Amino acid sequence: MKSPKLTINAARLEQDFNELAEIGATVDGGVSRLALSNEDLLARAWFADRLDAAGLHMRDDDAGNLSGVLMCGGPKARTLILGSHLDSVPNGGRYDGSIGVLAALECARVIKAAGLKLRVNLEVINFTDEEGCWQSLFGSRGLTGNLHENYTIDKDADYGPFRAALFRAGIRPADVANARRDPKTVAGYLELHIEQGYRLDRDGVEIGVVSGIVGRATHQVIFHGQASHSGTTERERRRDALLGASQFIVLAHELWRDRYPEGVFTCGNLQVGPGAFNIIPNETRLTIECRHPDADTLAQMQDEILDLARQQAAAHGLFFTSRRMAQMPAVNLDDQVIGAIEQACELCQASHTRLISYAGHDAQMMTGFTPSGMIFVPSVGGISHSPREFTHWEHVVKGANVMLQTILLLAKRL
């Protein structure tokens, strides 16, 4: 086995990484670059400068995606898209999204400097609002033709701030559908990302080759009870919306453990009304999320959990309503791309394993639109969406080099 001749410039990548981490840096050592915020707009401006300095052709689209293209010269050449996102969750980590965009840029710079003539254009892209501060996967929805103006309009919610933020970022809600590309012009999609789980770190494996991404469904669940005086309402006459919700949360976690060990259940938020210490709660609003790598099982898991909520509502004398907030189908990534990543790992002498992503990614939208793949690098302790998110720098470099080799392989094959 011979080592690859072309490698990325690790020092240059690290300098970019450190500069970017300053934008929206938090006191805890994390970053807050919520999509369309001042910090996100600053990060985009910085990124535009980097694309310009790299001599790439800049482009943007009506969904706010910002790209630099390395043209191969062929008039009908298709484009291999490389990217991720620069936005973050509130007080999130410095690696999530960032390393994918920066490694893509570094690969394009190396290939340009080497004067390689590929059969495809390379497009380094920053997708808008991957994290869903306003609408998850906004940019990749737009590029793949899955975004419509009605994503920014809803009778049940005040979308005014969202629309204002879009306008401020130069995105016109009426035009977002125009971001759609013709799939014939696209050769494929490749994304480097931190695992955000702890399997690679635990097993000492350098590269995760993502075989699929879990499906995800989010529901708002409301238990409606009866407000009454805490001191004078006998136990058997209470209709306590918080007690019913608490019992549901406990039982839903047991259901997850016992029946859906491959899935994930989370209740990340709960609000109580009226919320006074001396009034029995009359309303509890929960946001629940189910994830599963198998689409049918995900549907079944959702149904059982909503049934459980209905049963617990009845058992506590409560009414129950629910509303689906979001749904992302489970996807399998492209076999040819997976094969190229594994071959690139061999070329780079990187240990690797296939795994399922339990987090959503822009690759989830890109799959079905174009052959797509993802390269994971280890997250220490599996911590992500936290300032404590950390990946050893040599793993970032290894991942970027695997990406570079994968690009070279795919450019010949796709």
As measured in angstroms, the least distance from the Cβ of 54 to a second copy is: 31
Q: Is 25 in the site for a second copy (CB under 8 A)?
A: no
As measured in angstroms, the least distance from the Cβ of 142 to a second copy is: 21
CA atoms in the 13 A half-sphere facing the CB of 209? 20
As measured in angstroms, the least distance from the Cβ of 193 to a second copy is: 11
Q: Is 291 in the site for a second copy (CB under 8 A)?
A: yes
Q: Is 216 in the site for a second copy (CB under 8 A)?
A: yes
Percent helix, percent strand, percent coil in the chain, to nearest 5 = 40, 25, 35
Are the CB atoms for 371 and 414 separated by under 8 Å? yes
As measured in angstroms, the least distance from the Cβ of 287 to a second copy is: 4
Q: Is 278 in the site for a second copy (CB under 8 A)?
A: yes
Q: Is 77 in the site for a second copy (CB under 8 A)?
A: no
Cα 376 from Cα 190, distance rounded (Å): 11
Count other C-beta atoms under 10 Å from residue 201's C-beta: 20
Backbone angles phi, psi at 86, to 5 degrees: -100, -10
Among 156, 182, 234, 258, binds a second copy (CB under 8 A): 234
Tell me the window of 87-95, 112-120, 147-155, 176-184 that interacts with a second copy (CB under 8 A). Answer: 87-95
Radius of gyration in angstroms for the set of CA atoms belonging to the chain, rounded to a whole number: 23
Query: What is 232-249 written as a DSSP string?
Result: TS-GGG---HHHHHHHHH
Tell which residue, 96, 192, 195, has the closest CA to residue 405.
192
Largest alpha-carbon pair distance within the chain? 81
Q: How many residues bind a second copy (CB under 8 A)?
A: 64
Q: Is 404 in the site for a second copy (CB under 8 A)?
A: no
- What is the torsion angle, in degrees rounded to the nearest 10, for the CA atoms of residue 18, residue 55, residue 347 and residue 198? 30
As measured in angstroms, the least distance from the Cβ of 195 to a second copy is: 7
Tell me the window of 11-19, 45-53, 112-120, 260-268 that interacts with a second copy (CB under 8 A). Answer: 260-268
Cα 127 from Cα 138, distance rounded (Å): 8
DSSP state of 25: B
Among 124, 176, 245, 337, binds a second copy (CB under 8 A): 245
361-390 residues near a second copy, rule: CB under 8 A: 379, 382-386
Cα 173 from Cα 11, distance rounded (Å): 40
Q: Is 308 in the site for a second copy (CB under 8 A)?
A: no
Backbone angles phi, psi at 272, to 5 degrees: -115, 135
End-to-end alpha carbon distance in the chain? 24
Q: Is 267 in the site for a second copy (CB under 8 A)?
A: yes
As measured in angstroms, the least distance from the Cβ of 310 to a second copy is: 18
As measured in angstroms, the least distance from the Cβ of 412 to a second copy is: 33
Cα 400 from Cα 192, distance rounded (Å): 7
Q: Is 287 in the site for a second copy (CB under 8 A)?
A: yes
319-348 residues near a second copy, rule: CB under 8 A: 325
Q: Is 3 in the site for a second copy (CB under 8 A)?
A: no
CA angle 250–255–258, rounded 5-degree value: 125
Among 264, 299, 308, 380, binds a second copy (CB under 8 A): 264
Residue 336, C-beta contacts closer than 8 angstroms, at least 6 positions apart:
371, 410, 413, 414
Q: Is 188 in the site for a second copy (CB under 8 A)?
A: no
As measured in angstroms, the least distance from the Cβ of 87 to a second copy is: 13
Among 59, 148, 168, 253, binds a second copy (CB under 8 A): 253
Among 7, 26, 211, 230, binds a second copy (CB under 8 A): 230
Q: Is 91 in the site for a second copy (CB under 8 A)?
A: yes
Cα 264 from Cα 249, distance rounded (Å): 13
Task: Please give the residue ranges that form the binding site for a second copy (CB under 8 A).
Answer: 89-91, 132, 195-198, 214, 216, 218, 226-235, 237, 242-243, 245-247, 249-250, 253, 256-257, 264, 266-272, 274-282, 287-289, 291, 325, 357-360, 379, 382-386
